[in-house]
A and B are shown apart, each in its own frame.
Chain A
Amino acid sequence: MPKRTDIQSVLVIGSGPIVIGQAAEFDYSGTQACRVLKAEGLRVVLVNSNPATIMTDPEIADATYVEPITPEFVEKIIAKERPDALLPTLGGQTALNTAISLHEAGTLEKYGVELIGANVEAINKGEDRDLFKEVVEAVRAKIGHGESARSVICHSMDDVLNGVETLGGYPVVVRPSFTMGGAGSGFAHDEEELRRIAGTGLTLSPTTEVLLEESILGWKEYELELMRDKHDNVVVVCSIENFDPMGVHTGDSITVAPAMTLTDREYQILRDIGIAVIREVGVDTGGCNIQFAVNPDDGRVIVIEMNPRVSRSSALASKATGFPIAKIAAKLAVGYTLDEIPNDITEQTPASFEPTLDYVVVKAPRFAFEKFPQADSTLTTTMKSVGEAMAIGRNFTEALQKALRSLEKKGSQFTFVGEPGDKAELLREAVRPTDGRINSVMQAIRAGATPEEVFEATKIDPWFVDQLFLIKEIADELAAAERLDVELLAEAKRHGFSDQQIGEIRGLREDVVREVRHALGVRPVYKTVDTCAAEFAARTPYFYSSYDEETEVASREKPAVIILGSGPNRIGQGIEFDYSCVHASFALSDAGYETVMVNCNPETVSTDYDTSDRLYFEPLTLEDVLEIVHAESLAGPIAGVVVQLGGQTPLGLSQALKDNGVPVVGTSPEAIHAAEDRGAFGQVLAEAGLPAPKHGTATTFAGAKAIADEIGYPVLVRPSYVLGGRGMEIVYDEVRLEAYIAESTEISPSRPVLVDRFLDDAIEIDVDALYDGEELYLGGVMEHIEEAGIHSGDSACALPPITLGGFDIKRLRASTEAIAKGVGVRGLINIQFAMAGDILYVLEANPRASRTVPFTSKATAVPLAKAAARISLGATIAELRAEGLLPANGDGGTLPLDAPISVKEAVMPWSRFRDIHGRGVDTVLGPEMRSTGEVMGIDSVFGTAYAKSQAGAYGPLPTKGRAFISVANRDKRSVIFPARELVAHGFELLATAGTAEVLKRNGINTTVVRKHSDGEGPNGERTIVQLIHDGEVDLIVNTPYGTGGRLDGYDIRTAAVARSVPCLTTVQALAAAVQGIDALNHGDVGVRSLQEHAEHLTAARD
């Protein structure tokens, strides 16, 4: 049965900004789907507010709308484009919820748009707890297996409290309906916890509904990925087993594929249930994942939930098996059946089979608790990790140790030296699931814990526990051996030990271990992920390393470029870097190179086996990269290794790679040093005559104090060589400075602390530029909305800049060129400037692709990362202009006056975190980056673009209602004008006494409300926090008061997050919001595709 002929155009909804629970995996899925649909000859219309995605590249879809994913905006797009069908299953919960809203509002019917890939009934059955329970009951009636945990549905706190009795007491699980990534769910062990968790859950659920459930803590947890076509053919693509038992969100668990501890009978029961569920729910075509809990004592199976769409797990399953779920889901949605679709990897066999693995895949989550020190680090059923690494090995131990070192986080690898600590204490620690619990377990084992004790504490399956013992025994053998011989080294490598770990155990340097190993001929081979355990020949070179006998890397003729990716997503190093790596791969492939991608992040487009000519799914450590370079050098010529595009991870390897004789192309390691080392960079600035804020470097408190005394407080302090402003802080006094130095673990003589004068009230500017040694191409100039001192990744910005004139741009261009030249950049450079008074200070320079490259590229319709990759390999800007990759004339600094304005806004993960008392964490922005993602608003004027960016990030700006204003003294002067504007737009103003006084004196009508610390008034007057909780405030403006006295603000801001009320924490943001509100109140906001914007821009450029 060929594809449907009644569909000519399809609207695909993306997942919007990267947030916890919904990350790059949807770019991977969406990109695959859009490409497939386009290849099928359909017109693809895409909406996604996230510019840092490959899917929003103008060549992926026919019409790409970087617009907010809200029913209002999507309706505008539908009205304009009139697609025949809407595919909602590839953009996560965001797309699914938007599609349901459009259906319920009658929009789809009005415009005759058919939902494909999932029908509304199926979506509801899968997502609605009550309906899903009925599904599971029906399945049990049919096949005799599967049940739901005993539970009650609650719509109020009374329901919740009564529910606990029905279930037979605590602990109970709370799960809000229709939230993503399990937001708002958790375990309640007593009434206080229950009131808190269920209260939040009821608020978060769009249907004010939570499910209360019997506890199945400690059971084994499994997941199946299934696909079904319109002929009811169903295949199970992958089984996944969680290393961490029930109680930890699967996104936060270490997970393993395939399932390791099921007999065939038990596995087939899960498979039967899975198939019966997908049929009962009625997912006609496409994929779904189903989660199960299995009682380790008797095999009782509980069906936890299903997602009738592609998901994070389906992306993982695709990478783990080589079976591209999203791609096939898109084909099924337009009418194909599984047997009609070829398996890409074998090319000879159809997709209607079940992949079988002859390797083990381990996924490990990466957390960012260090960014949120107040947050409770206990892992629960609410997802908290910000990224993940996947590793493949020929056995579990190899895969596990590779995954742990892929996390690239201090302490993520097992360590076998030093005192392990007290056994009883370690076992107690291991009871509580946390980031790094596996390391506590390993230390407990070293301290003498028995397998039974470990199981008792953690409920981790005894087979997995034994594997940890196996690793520990090999570490013991390594320690005890007289010398490292072939047999011992090979055995250690076979169980995933890194050279670094072996060195640590043996008291040797990593490079010495490597030398010994190479001398003994112990090197990895590369095996292929082929979907079929070698039953058929694989045509797709998707490799992983293993210490086995036979390698499968084929020789090649063309020179290869090896591109090092960015590893697991983390705050500060996310999808933006993957975007640049993917672009490099495309551009270099077009230029005639064989492209080789190395990465370990399963969520990304770079690790799609379709992206590059060869894919190595490997950790990005020096050892692993050197081995790949070695293997590829045996296969054919290597033109170079690109380290500039994947962020700090590959950049950090640059010098060591060069020292090992690897041809690093682009900016040299020495140039990288010149930009990153304070002293060297100061030299560059001095030679170019460019001012930097007064600064100094110190390795002790005394040294730092001396510098601070000289330049004056406040000062900005930070460790050197970090990303995302990690550990950066504005310090207002000596007491805090002393504490900072004491707390900071990353400061050492080789890594000094940097102390800079903090520029109050400066305008911060970001520049992305290309330099080839001769010519500078200014990619774009971004003006931050928030003042300097707020990390550029967390700050909103506008491109082209909205308050800078031609003279400023000229100065920026000259400074950028001087720095690029002085440092010796070949490719991309990102520079941060601060304009204070009339002085343009240089804050820092990063000689690599920056976080803003995708945004700049989209805003100016120029593929900067592609150009950078080409420059790395020797092309000049002049050549690239001639080729058409760069515009023939002008650059991002000379945009025409009527060029569209793009606004980038950061998206913060506040709502994910609670402190140990269950209260929200503070939402104040600072010099340390904490956002997980970003959106872009694009329009012809700033106000509208800003309003769109807010709608995309947080929901629409209010256009009327009540605004609450409470600002720090220093902001009181500048708040007057925007406040007056709000009143002019019909807002009623509320303010705390101090702010109200200022506003009233300026003739602005304001109602005084009680502070949180005042408590409720004598006549029951509510405080501002109560008003926010009661939903009576539509907009909040609250700027923090220095370092102290933050408590009131804290409660206001956390209440705002809990109730999803827009909350502006700088006056600059208020001024921008006022422009946005003004735009919204002045007529209709339109939508325009990137292709239309680009056409307009190109025409204006000529």
Chain B
Amino acid sequence: MEICTPDNTTSSILQSAPRRPVDSPTPLCLSCGTCSAGCPITGQSGFDPRKIVQMVLAGRDKELVKSNLPWLCTLCGKCEYACPMGINIISIIRTARGLVDRDKVPGQIHKGVELGLKTGNNLGLPQEDFTFIIEDVGEELSAESGFEDFMVPIDKKGARMLHTLHNKLVNTQNEDLVHWWKIFHVASESWTIPSVNWEGVNWGLFSGDNDAMKTFVDRIAHHMQALELSCLMYPE
């Protein structure tokens, strides 16, 4: 097929993808293969990180955005870690994801982001259910010897640390919550869990939705200020 774009083609991905981890121009890419050789999923359904960089350099944004290539990546960052030219491979892939129509974002991620924005957590768990589960687990813990005076501190103003939660800890694996809490208790940590917007996973990162990502971050920042906290525990 013909290269129908001249070299000066403006690629919006190229323009907008942040240059991270270092400020290295993307065209510096050597196509040397370091990223592809190290990528754990190179070859799966035609995935090849250097190809994605070359597509963007050739201005083939539309083609990339239309394909499923951006969604095959795990964003693990192994490619960038070794790239001799400091190319922003992860940023490019995230930016491409951001350009995909939201209804074309893979179901699970799309749903999670939507629910997160609407309800404050990716599961869409109502506040009263959340409080019930948390307090229930807390009560179970206080039945154990040595933890008799344990209580889950919810919305405790002036504590030291904000404890956000991975949603699966609330939903299916809530017995794992107590491991953290035991440590906090024994260490006499001053901490708190917010009653709303407690989600500790930012799926805006994975969906490439920068606005959603910012909203999630803003919520946490808001807790920190409103509850006058100085330390954040972010499980993912």
A binds B: no
